[in-house]
Structure 1
Amino acid sequence: MALSRSARLAALRLTALATATLSLALVAASPGPRPGAVGIDDPYFPSLGNGGFDIKHYGLDLDYNPDTDVLNARAEISARAEKDLSSFYLDLQKLTVTSIEVNGRAAQFTRTGDDIRIKPRHALAKGRTFTVEVKYNGIPEPLGGPIVFGSDYGWMKTGDGVFVACEPNAASTWFPGSDHPSDKATFDIRIKAPKGLTGVSNGRLVSTRTTGGKTVAHWRTDKPMATYLATATIGKFDVRTGRTPGGIPIYVAIDPVLKNSNNVDVYGVTAEVTDYWSKLFGKYPFEETGAIVDDMPQAGFSLETQTKPVYSAVRSESTIAHELAHQWFGDSVSPEEWDDIWLNEGFATYSQWLWEEHKGRNTAAALMRAGYNARPADAPFWQTVVGDPQRDTMFASAVYQRGAMTLQMLRERIGDKAFFKLLRVWVADYKYENAETSEFIKYAERISGQQLDDLFKTWLFTKGKPAL
């Protein structure tokens, strides 16, 4: 039996109503754009880094006045949205933000602790590349506390400028960004300082120009870099450039105050070590090698800033070998989270032992056993869990020394052929990326063909002095 015309119209109306209701329900169920996360939940620094986007490039314009210590700056950041974003955060500590634009249009922003919450005029769609311009100023302050050997770190005032060494969480004291090693990016850094001072940064020097009594140095790194590895060290420097015997560009800047302060030929040792590590670990991963040696004895430490480690007045041939090994272990292959810090420091310390072995002065096995025998079983040294050393003790000596001992034990277990193949494959496969301890263990087992859980559990994750 056929329906009447009126019945058919009524049925059509009901179908249309049901379809509209379903559409509204689907819209209501859709989450829509949401804020990016504050932090990436790193176990040691939960608020560092930011969620919802991936920064691709930083363009930093820094105008520094050493007389007042005031920094006037502009950051232009290129990023990619990883989800639909109604707002997002950038890390920036204490400095005053004067304006923010997203894709060339003024954006609302508010402070939340050491983060800036930014709300663009229009939501950002997942997969979209966008730009953020932040203008800001103020006097950057270094961080302190127990983390870095009880020293200040970050943006540190010197007699003629600043010494900038930011590991682990001080990059955001002088520029806005996602201040966590898991979010690497390329950089253009332009440093404007009074004529007579030199601004030194990462990568290669693109240009210098002097105008209005100030010199602008433009540095560029085309290889991905973690924020803590960025530097903008400023002062009076004697600069020497050239190439290593192996052909790698080199740039070494030394404070003239330190010219005759010790017997280390920083330029020569840097060139020699870089070439040797390139043979042992694989091709040098960056545009340039070098060093920045500044008169900053208050710091009492050096840091593996990418392409040009920064050295305070405390330095040696062994320290140079350590910081340059970091260019592979820490800079190119960076920790996924900060509890993986032994992948940086244990490897660089072991490289110091390899350097002594290379020079014929000692062996890694002998150096390992000397350190092992020098520490009694009840020494606090053996109570640090190297694979998870905790935030305030993440740079404890055990992270360096017991981390290196772990590698020597691994070398003795699997043999030299497998061990050095492991190091080369590791840095090649994770070049410019991030890695964690569990991945290194898998690589060690795959390349050696051995089951190694017992070794790593004993040396990295168990308190107490292991039996040899």
Structure 2
Amino acid sequence: MDRKLLPAAIIFVWVLLTGCSSVARNQATPAITSTPIPEQPYSTMSSQPSHGLAGGDSIGDAYIPSIGNTGYDVLQYDLDIQFSGSIDAITATVTVSSVVTLDDLGRFSLDFTGYQVDSVQAGNQYVPFFRDAGKLYIDLPKALSKGEQLVTRVAYHGPAIPQDSQFINLGGLGFHVIEGNNLTYAFGEPDGAHAWFPCNDHPLDKAEYRFSLTVPKGFTAVANGTLLQTTSKDDRQVFNWLAKDPMVTYLATVVVGKYERLDKPAVGEVKIRHYVLEGDFNYSDKLNDTRDILEYYSDLIGPYPFSEFGFIIIRTSDDVAQFAEETQTIVMVDRGYMLSESAVGVLAHELAHHWFGDSVSLANWNEVWLKEGMATYLMVRWLDHQGYVGLQALMADLENVLVTNAANLNQPLNQPLPSTMYGPNTYDKGAWVYYMLSQQMGEPAFTTFLREYYKRFADGNASTVEVQELAEEVSGLDLSTFFQEWVYGSGNPDLHVSWATLPEGVAVQVCQAGGGQVFSVPLEIKLAAADGTSQQEVIPLDEGQEQVTYSVPFTVTELQVDPDQKLLAGTTVSQVDALSACAP
């Protein structure tokens, strides 16, 4: 077979399956009884469909309103993708099996950008279709009732080219072809799954996935879930994968390259398999940490959510560590990370996402801190557990990244700028919020919260509001001030601490500087003598200026702020002859 694309057409088919509780498998494609209709100009699309009502072309995410659609709920995606001989172009047919959620549905939309769309078929006839701003609009030949099932089949073709995203700077989202490395992979977070397959591209709509991937012999095609079978015909191979557990669109991936599979001993019932670049075992020993990480998280949070897990190594360019992605059950990790000292932390972070991010997914994209902050926090917990680095030292490192560059903290945690959506605020401050929440709740209650967080929202979605409500339910505390200051507010405490010795003790003043938000937080201080004697105190902060006096049975020679690293704050400490008012 030569390297030209196979001929392709777009086919959409709706099928009513009354009385069925699940989507039928291997349905026969109905006979075509009309002539294909080419794409129609969007300007000619009527405001209302000929039959029934139109589903919405936004799912209602205020942060990324352009993605997601309403009127239906996807149950399954079936992706049949054929790669060209040079694996830089595709011919694909995608079947989207859905249930109608809007009574009298006559028009619906899918997220889809790029590629050549040739025709749309509904039932046994072709119908007009329209494209605009990343949407594919389809008018059905008859309106469907709420609860009826709708199966659409989509075929398309074109070069495997990524599409731009304002939220992430990795050369775009969709398929990436790494010339010279015999590698093509799909990457879709946050808003780019529809850059390589038509879908309802929002975390609120999870579905099952099936993949049939045809590649030239000598290449391996990897996707999410379980490899069902591999077949060969002439100079081609077909890899069939099934991801049965609910999955959001951005976590779906396909990787084609020269790979070797490493099967490892199972962890309980969980099958472990990794894919490494052919003949490249320079980092394979680092993959051995997978078992310990998985067992630790399972004990801490609850059973691993899926039946299989593994890492697949991606080589971008020059072995620079560029990205890792929690693609469900088969995590993509840049080879540059695997060759770096950061490898163990990256593996722990991405594996943690399978509880928080993959199983418990976001409800809205502005709340990306929920998953990235949690994965960073759990990574820190694991590194401390294994003795790589102590918990306090790790939290201090994260704090240093944040407070040494105030711009990191300028935006509320739940409303990042598009350019900083995946910046230190989301990861490092997010981890600090969970860490400080554990201090507020106490470790036993926080562990209960962590387990209930996963258990309650597994296979679904969680919002910041729901997480706060759960933390309050478990702890019995009113955490409204905590969440208002640390999640909905911006910045962090900027504390100027001064102290002066007294005849029988010490006077301490804390000024919250900057004229910005005043935080209500407990501040621990340690008063120390030259011989090592010490006394620890807690100053409740809730105003811009606090003064306290302590009786101390020794001469204080040093004052330490937050000695046990419990508070995210920038601090300066100075000894003075006498306290004076805080600067305005």
Q: TM-score, normalised by structure 1?
A: 0.89
Structure 2 distance, partners of 1:326, 1:340, is 15
User: Residues 155, 463 of structure 1: CA spacing in aligned structure 2 closer, same or farther, 3 A cutoff?
Assistant: same
Structure 2 counterpart of 1:313: 335
Partner residue of 1:206 out of 216, 228, 233: 228
Structure 2 distance, partners of 1:336, 1:350, is 20
1:382 aligns with 2:402: no
Structure 2 distance, partners of 1:410, 1:164, is 36
Structure 1 counterpart of 2:449: 422
Letter in 2 for 1:424: R
1:40 aligns with 2:44: no
| 1:295–1:313 CA contact under 8 A, matched in 2 | yes
1:140 aligns with 2:160: yes
Structure 2 distance, partners of 1:414, 1:179, is 36
Structure 1 counterpart of 2:33: none
SS at match of 1:352: helix
Letter in 1 for 2:271: P
Structure 1 distance, partners of 2:153, 2:321, is 32
SS at match of 1:305: coil
Structure 1 distance, partners of 2:490, 2:454, is 29
CA deviation after TM superposition for structure 1 residue 109, in Å: 1.3
Structure 2 distance, partners of 1:194, 1:330, is 34
Letter in 1 for 2:386: K
CA deviation after TM superposition for structure 1 residue 147, in Å: 2.0
Partner residue of 1:58 out of 77, 93, 97: 77
Provide Cα deviations, 1:420-446, integer angstroms capped at 9, x if missing partner: 111111111111101110000000000
What does 1:11-410 correspond to in 2, within 5 Å? 33-67=52-86, 69-83=88-102, 84-144=104-164, 146-149=166-169, 151-158=171-178, 159-256=181-278, 258-260=280-282, 262=283, 265-297=285-317, 300-315=322-337, 316-373=343-400, 375-376=402-403, 379-410=406-437
Letter in 2 for 1:221: A
Structure 2 distance, partners of 1:332, 1:63, is 29
CA deviation after TM superposition for structure 1 residue 367, in Å: 1.9
Partner residue of 2:488 out of 451, 456, 461: 461
| 2:402–2:425 CA contact under 8 A, matched in 1 | no
SS at match of 1:41: coil
User: Residues 146, 90 of structure 1: CA spacing in aligned structure 2 closer, same or farther, 3 A cutoff?
Assistant: closer
Q: Which moved more, 1:81-90 or 1:138-147?
A: 138-147
| 1:274–1:289 CA contact under 8 A, matched in 2 | no
Structure 2 distance, partners of 1:376, 1:299, is 24
Structure 1 distance, partners of 2:401, 2:145, is 59
Structure 2 distance, partners of 1:200, 1:336, is 28
| 1:65–1:193 CA contact under 8 A, matched in 2 | yes
CA deviation after TM superposition for structure 1 residue 346, in Å: 0.2
CA deviation after TM superposition for structure 1 residue 256, in Å: 2.6
Q: Which has the higher contact order (CA 8 A, sep 6+)?
A: 1
CA deviation after TM superposition for structure 1 residue 141, in Å: 1.8
Letter in 2 for 1:71: I
Structure 1 counterpart of 2:504: none
Structure with the higher strand share, 1 or 2: 2
Structure 1 portions without partners, runs of 5+: 1-30
CA deviation after TM superposition for structure 1 residue 168, in Å: 0.6
Provide Cα deviations, 1:287-325, integer angstroms capped at 9, x if missing partner: 211111121247810100000110112320110000000
Provide Cα deviations, 1:187-227, integer angstroms capped at 9, x if missing partner: 00111100110010001011110112111111101110000
SS at match of 1:71: strand
Larger radius of gyration: 2
Identity of aligned residues (%): 33
Structure 2 distance, partners of 1:373, 1:113, is 41
User: Residues 181, 245 of structure 1: CA spacing in aligned structure 2 closer, same or farther, 3 A cutoff?
Assistant: closer
CA deviation after TM superposition for structure 1 residue 103, in Å: 4.0
CA deviation after TM superposition for structure 1 residue 369, in Å: 3.1
User: Residues 392, 378 of structure 1: CA spacing in aligned structure 2 closer, same or farther, 3 A cutoff?
Assistant: closer
| 2:69–2:200 CA contact under 8 A, matched in 1 | yes
| 1:95–1:138 CA contact under 8 A, matched in 2 | yes
Structure 2 counterpart of 1:448: 475
SS at match of 1:350: helix
User: Residues 335, 39 of structure 1: CA spacing in aligned structure 2 closer, same or farther, 3 A cutoff?
Assistant: same
Structure with the higher helix share, 1 or 2: 1
Aligned residues: 436
| 2:370–2:464 CA contact under 8 A, matched in 1 | yes
SS at match of 1:89: strand
User: Residues 122, 274 of structure 1: CA spacing in aligned structure 2 closer, same or farther, 3 A cutoff?
Assistant: same
> Root-mean-square deviation (CA), in Å?
2.0
Letter in 1 for 2:350: E
User: Residues 102, 241 of structure 1: CA spacing in aligned structure 2 closer, same or farther, 3 A cutoff?
Assistant: farther
Structure 1 distance, partners of 2:400, 2:157, is 52
| 2:129–2:137 CA contact under 8 A, matched in 1 | yes
CA deviation after TM superposition for structure 1 residue 466, in Å: 2.5
Q: Which moved more, 1:286-295 or 1:296-305?
A: 296-305
CA deviation after TM superposition for structure 1 residue 374, in Å: 5.4
Structure 2 distance, partners of 1:275, 1:155, is 33
Q: Which moved more, 1:409-418 or 1:33-42?
A: 33-42
Structure 2 distance, partners of 1:324, 1:377, is 29
User: Residues 220, 104 of structure 1: CA spacing in aligned structure 2 closer, same or farther, 3 A cutoff?
Assistant: farther
Q: TM-score, normalised by structure 2?
A: 0.72
| 1:199–1:232 CA contact under 8 A, matched in 2 | yes
